[in-house]
Amino acid sequence: MTTNGMAIGEDLQRILWACLAYWSNEPLAFDERVICYSWVARLHQNKFGVSFAPSKLRYLGELGLLAQVDTSRGGDRRYWRINDPQLVAKILHGCNFN
């Protein structure tokens, strides 16, 4: 799968799945929903049995799929939003992760 001319391998597809799964279950309004590494990593670990590095979220940000929105006190936690949830769903269409 490619986006913006860049390849999205299965590992990134699985991370995107976890991002979208967490984001989709947030009770907040769409424009208020955020994700962070620890929340997404937990879902990813439970679903796929492996972890991933936080730098993968940064890479998804470089691809334009995520955008960093805030940091917690002390700067230890990064919060991200999904720029275009419909695009992410389109990228994941047919991946059969469910």
In the DSSP assignment, the letter for residue 54 is T
Q: Is 54 left (phi over 0), alpha (psi -120 to 50) or beta?
A: alpha
Mean pLDDT, residues 30-42: 93
Burial class (CB in 10 A: 0-12, 13-18, 19+), 85: middle
The fold of the 2-92 domain, in CATH, is: Arc Repressor Mutant, subunit A (1.10.10)
Render pLDDT for 47-75 as a digit per residue (tens, 0 to 9): 999 999 999 999 999 999 999 997 666 66
Q: How far is CA 75 from the centre of its chain?
A: 19
* pLDDT band at residue 5 using 50, 70 and 90 as cut-offs: very low
**CA distance linking residue 48 with residue 74, whole number of Å:** 31
Strand partners, 2: 7
